[in-house]
Chains A and B, each alone.
Chain A
């Protein structure tokens, strides 16, 4: 790097060239979004001088985005809460009294203790973009309530569930494109986020290598801006488009049949006996092993090596039943004319020729450019392979295709497409990040069906149902969780339904909630389908007693968000630079295709306020409530603090929050007894641990013996067993059979048709649920949101620097459409949906689908919140699309219906349909609804009017 070695030219010119960056530097993990990049924080005179990416860190390799670089301003935000607060006025009035931590914790323990002694499920504990879910989830189970979830149900559970039930992994934290070898890269519904720096690093590498990038998205911004081609798809039709690509690949016989029969369940036999209790289930032997049909032997265990499986045809089993291979069913479905390009084109808005051309491109990239990496590997049957043949087609997808009520099947469709191309964990394809792949599904069903006073729930609250027996429903088939997760309304609600917790609690449906415990979940604003609905729930009173229906609201957050005024008790959290954290393999891992990794945060600064890390508060509350996992047999607290928990908690013997430097001397990885010096070792290593897999374990992980054995030794999976990719998802068929009247656990009558329709073991396209009740003429436009890159997931866009980049959002509309509607740039417009109306300002652009409008998400703030001036652009001209979304669809059969995916319960906020009209010029140029300004809580200083941040300079 010759240019870097510059000699100083004029040493006596008065310029201080060689000033050390700071007087102290510490590594930790960023929390300005969900990527969890490694950072180095330089301090000078006790103030933050500079935050930069850690060059050694596997996630960001030294780069840092705008959000991470703005961490300084989040640290010094005037919106930081300073003391525990107790509400003294009405909810929402923002009248509080500052109290001591002891009073706060005594009160919390009193409220929580009473609930636990009476009926633990009357506690609902929901967290936001919580990165300590293994702790918060354990705490909820120990408390004894099933009502726990983080924000995944609101964000992208369709993506997670579809992946985990199809390929044992998914996108983002579960997998990554092979940036080094892909020829063709498809970016589905990802604009600017999920994830941040790794995708940017990868896209740069693709551009450098000359790979072709296609962005499929109604909006052409951000990552899509540098794509070679933009496919302007109509929101919610991704599934149709994917099935049409699959149709084309099947019709042209351009699929990887050998891969499907070797690594997927294409050859597994499915019972064909309509009306019978076993219809649509796999043919299994007495040991429960699925069977295939061998050309020579007939029915044989499908996993046996060396068989020659039949992939199509109707076969008669020795017992007389008929069966068909999965591939037969699949081919039959997707070759159907309903998925031909001509048939889907009018709905998707993509020309049939374009669909044909893209299918041909996919096949060409996958099959016509041999790519083989010279890494020998051995499969689970003991066969050695001299190399790793590639399929250089990669994909990445996120919320854009997930946040629809048809998102689960659409996400499954995408995995089907990759499987048909043989493009799963092979050179050039999408690849698993350790600890994935995991068995399909990865674990036991959800716990929480039984609750009792003062009794913990054994098991994991957010589990993996295999069929009706695993659902959390009562004898009548009705939901046992407040969010109705894992009920017949959302059987695969792997992440819960955070967006339904408050709406349901407000309606006491299915039962009342006594205490609501929230952690960094801004439920009275943008962490809601509709803020007004959630505020109504928070302020609803029992007519008889006049008491709040949700009797206690406890809220933990570091900042004065819109939800603070609705809490009875506010527990002020630290910033991410003031505490320890574990970025754990038990939670949301940061591994890569090259091996598992985890990380910690360490306090870089001491808090200058009377605040405590929420995790530490939770551990102390656990001890005060005598929850077994947090209490010693003598009744004393089991853990001194959060680091003590991180080091010494064991989920099962040898497995704890951190996988690195385990064992008494730090000599073990993955599994091993607690190491008292573990945190020290992490700090010495830059606050992260990674384990690099040898090249022979980099691909084919579902069948790679050395990898699977290594993964089992590390504790990533229970046993080294082949993971068979599931084209056909049998658990869904079990739900469907129940809906058709089989078995003892059946859905309530009103849900039977719905379960039978949507629990289809092969993915299919259906219009979003909301579409049935919306007249396209009345609401002709789709309305969606995306996160701006400099603010994606940065919970605190009150950040003084970031808000200079974007402090007010407009509604973006296609220029041609605007001309037809008689609208112009800057016009104030009224946006109406079937459930609400808002006023905002219009902006025009070319790069947006003609039938779609969009805006930046979560820029709009409620006046006064975040210690912003009450006339700040965020509240004067910023707006949330959430105001015209509802958590509910029209009730059916006398029961509420959530606006969610019918399989997973994912919030369907991208199903929104609107019309846009010009406002009367007499209307105020102000966004509407414009809720009353929130008063500043006690203890917060007035926000400064001038910032001259200069670490090392004059204070």
Chain B
């Protein structure tokens, strides 16, 4: 069993805020994550049978699309899913070797590949299905919140965000300190009614999802069919209209 450290004084709760109001399900975040991370901190993210009958690889971020509700009032929902960097992560407490750990200073949940024995207990423990097993290396892998981008001093400051955030074409992904109520992401969560996923699991996820915005009620029709005037009289009225050009 691996214990969870108490948050460091002034420690952050870094995480993502994902806006379901604007996510169109384009998979940009998933693929850009894949290409950054396959040569990144947890490299590589292998692909098995890549040109065969069962292509399947390691992805830290996957997008699920489904429908909610029936008929024309229903919705098509696109739902990106990645590690939620829980405050109380069962994937960490279940780890027999200490490979899975949560950082005190920023709350990021990581895997130390040198300690991982590939027992997969963490993937069984995670209720969100956020763990990805590299069968080739026999090591569990997962979202690092792009730890090699967010602190990377070789990148311009504006680019020190996870790849999924930087690439999202509908700006549906935001990154920041969700432990600081004054941070941009915390304000966004507060203003938009952001919520945690499956709180009943007790993992206290850090990531938040923003629900679709309320749809405005369309205005009532201005005109009824009954007041249809004959075409000729309408043309006459327009013929009298004085215009200048």
Contacts and interface: CB of A to CB of B under 8 A. Distances in A.
B74 A847 contact: yes
B129 interface: no
A945 interface: yes
Interface string B149-189: 01111110110110100111111100111000001110000
B35 A51 contact: yes
A17 B153 contact: yes
A64 B32 contact: yes
Nearest to A313: B239
A225 B31 contact: no
B244 A312 contact: no
B28 A63 contact: yes
A952 B69 CA distance: 47
Given A1-B158, A309-B243, A357-B218, A846 B50 contact: no
A872 B23 contact: no
A224 to B, nearest CB: 7
A705 B109 CA distance: 60
Interface in B46-80: 46-53, 55-57, 59, 65, 67, 69-72, 74-78
Interface stretch (B82-90, B119-127, B200-208, B229-237): B229-237
A712 interface: no
A949 B8 CA distance: 36
B245 A262 contact: yes
A280 B245 CA distance: 24
A3 B223 contact: no
A252 B170 contact: no
* Interface SS of B by simple majority: loop
A355 B69 CA distance: 24
A335 B163 CA distance: 54
A671 B98 CA distance: 66
B37 to A, nearest CB: 10
A16 interface: yes
A62 B172 CA distance: 14
A21 interface: yes
A225 B78 contact: yes
Given A228-B215, A251-B228, A360-B222, A947 B239 contact: no
Contacts of B229: 251
Interface residues of B, number: 102
B148 A800 contact: no
B50 A943 contact: yes
A799 B182 CA distance: 43
Contacts of B199: none
Contact of B39 (A50, A212, A352): A50
B27 to A, nearest CB: 4
B35 A72 contact: yes
A69 B22 contact: no
A332 to B, nearest CB: 6
Interface residues of A, number: 127
B185 to A, nearest CB: 7
A872 B57 CA distance: 16
B196 to A, nearest CB: 19
B41 A50 contact: no
Given A8-B151, A63-B28, A307-B244, A224 B167 contact: no
Contacts of B93: none
B234 A69 contact: no
A895 interface: no
Interface in A249-268: 250-253, 257-258, 261-262, 267
B24 A200 contact: yes
Nearest to B110: A15
B18 interface: no
B190 interface: no
Contacts of A203: 22, 24, 170
Contacts of A805: 27, 30-31
A221 B66 CA distance: 10
A49 B46 contact: no
A944 interface: yes
A868 interface: yes
Contact of A311 (B39, B168, B241): B241
Interface stretch (A336-344, A454-462, A693-701): A336-344
Interface of A: 1-10, 15-21, 44, 49-53, 55, 60, 62-70, 72, 78, 192, 196-197, 200-201, 203-204, 207-208, 210, 212, 220-226, 228-230, 232, 248, 250-253, 257-258, 261-262, 267, 295, 305-313, 327-328, 331-332, 335-336, 340-342, 352-353, 356-357, 359-361, 363-364, 789-790, 798, 800-805, 807, 845-847, 867-869, 871-873, 876, 943-953
8 contacts: A16-B41, A66-B28, A196-B26, A221-B65, A228-B215, A311-B238, A352-B225, A789-B26
